[in-house]
Amino acid sequence: MIQSVKDDGRGPSGPPDLFELIKKLTGGGRGPSRGKLGGGFIGVLLLILLVWGAMTSFYTVQPEQRAVVKRFGSVKGITDPGLHFKIPFGIDQIQLVATERVLKQEFGFRTRGTRQGESSTYSAAEFEDESLMLTGDLNMIDVEWVVQYRIEDPIKFLYQMREPTRTLRDISESVMRRIVGNMLGSEVLTIGRVEIQQKAGDEIQVILNQYDAGIRISTVEMQDVVPPPAVQPAFNEVNEARQERERMINEAQKRVNQEIPNAEGAALRTVAEAEGYATERVNRADGESTRFSAVLREYQQAPTVTRSRLYLETLNEILPNIGQILVVQDGQVGPLPLLDVNRKTIGGDK
C-alpha cells in the first residue's frame, strides 16, 4: 500500500500524495475545474493513441529488401518492396531482410568502411586463427578468402537457425581447412586456387542445404595465399628458383620448336628436290629415246638425206661455240686469223 507524506507544519517534506494526484488528473475531486482537467487528459491520451496508431500502421520496404511480417510472434508472410499496411500498436512486427543484396564474409582480413569513390582500406589486425592452415605435405600456409552469398529465403534465414551468419562462417572455415589439408602446399600457392574455390563453394552450399538455412552461395574467392612471415624469405628463394627452372625449360622448348620444324622442312625440301630431279631425268630420257626412235625411222627411210641433215645440225650447234680459229705456219711472225665467228661487226662491215 502506498502512503502519502503528511505536512507537520514545517513545509513540504516529501512527494505529494499519489492518490490525490490521480484524482486531480481524472476529475475525481470536487468542483467543475477538476472535471475539465480529467476530460482534457483523456483527450490528449486519445490523441496520442491515434497518432501512435497512424505511425505504426504503415511500413516501407526498399527495392533490395523483403519484409517478414509477424503477428503476436507468429510469422504471417513475406511482403515485396513498396508501402504496406499492418496492424498498429506493435501487434504486427516487421523484420527487413536484404534478399537482393550480395553479402560477404571475410576470412583472414577485415575491410574497413570506406566512402563511395574511395579505395578500400584494410584493418591492420592479424587474424591468424582463421587464415593459418596445414597443407597435405605438413606445411603451414596463410590463406585469405571471401564468401559471397545472398539470402534466398528470409523466413528460413531468420528462424531456421539461431545464428545463421556465424554458422556460415564456421562451415566455410571447416570446408576450406579440409580442402587445403588434402592438397600440397605448392598446389595451393600456384595452380590449385581455381579448384579450391569451386570445390569450397559447392561443398558449403551442400551443407547449407542440409541445414535448410535459406542462403545461396554466389562465389568463393581466394585473396592472398602466402606462406607465414617466418618462412617468407626462404619461400621467395624457392619460388625464384622454380621460376628460373620454368624459364629455362620454356627456352629449351622454344629452341626445340624452332629446330625441329627447320630440320623437317630441310628434309622435305631435299626429298622434294630429289624427286623432282628423278622425274626430270626420267622424262628427259624418255624424250631422248623417243627422239632417237624418230630419227632412226627417218634414217631408215632416207639414209643420205638424214645423214646430211644431222651433220649440218651438228655443225650449227658446234661452230658458234668455237670462237677464233688461227692457222699458224712455220716461218711467219704472227698468227693469221682465218675465221672469227664471235667477233661483232664494226661500222656495219663483216
Cell numbers linked to 15:
512527494
Contact 28, 22 (CB under 8 A): yes
Q: For residue 185, how many other CB atoms are within 10 A of its CB?
A: 21
Q: Enumerate residue ranges in the chain where pLDDT < 50.
A: 1-16, 18-19, 21-22, 25, 29, 31, 341, 345-350
Contact 148, 195 (CB under 8 A): no
pTM: 0.56
Confidence (pLDDT) at 38: 60
User: Looking at residue 224, what is its pLDDT?
Assistant: 87
Distance CA 56, CA 333 (A): 145
Tell me, what's the pLDDT at 344?
53
pLDDT of residue 4: 37
Distances from the Cα of 120 to the Cαs of 84, 113, 117, 281, 308, in angstroms? 37, 8, 9, 80, 106
Cell for 342? Answer: 664471235
21 to 12, 25, 38, 251, 320: CA distances (angstroms): 15, 6, 11, 100, 153
Q: How far is Cα 110 from Cα 146, in angstroms, rounded to an integer?
A: 10
Name which of 218, 211, 238 is nearest 226 in CA terms: 238
Q: Are strands 66-71 and 82-85 parallel, antiparallel or unpaired?
A: unpaired
Task: Report the candidate in 239, 237, 201, 242 with the shortest Cα–Cα distance to residue 218.
Answer: 201
Burial 129-150 (b: 16+ CB within 10 A, else e): ebbebebeeebebbbbbbbebe
Contact assessment for residue 341 and residue 317, using Cβ atoms and an 8 Å cutoff: no
Nearest to 59 by CA among 8, 94, 111, 9: 94
- Please give the Cα distance from 137 to 154 (Å, whole number): 42
Grid coordinates given for 136 = 597435405
Q: How many CB atoms lie within 10 A of CB 27?
A: 19
**CB 196: neighbour CB atoms within 10 A?**
22
What is the Cα–Cα distance from 16 to 25, expressed in whole angstroms?
13
Please tell me the total number of residues recorded for the chain in this structure.
Answer: 350
CB atoms within 10 A of CB 23: 15
Among 149, 61, 71, CA closest to 97: 61
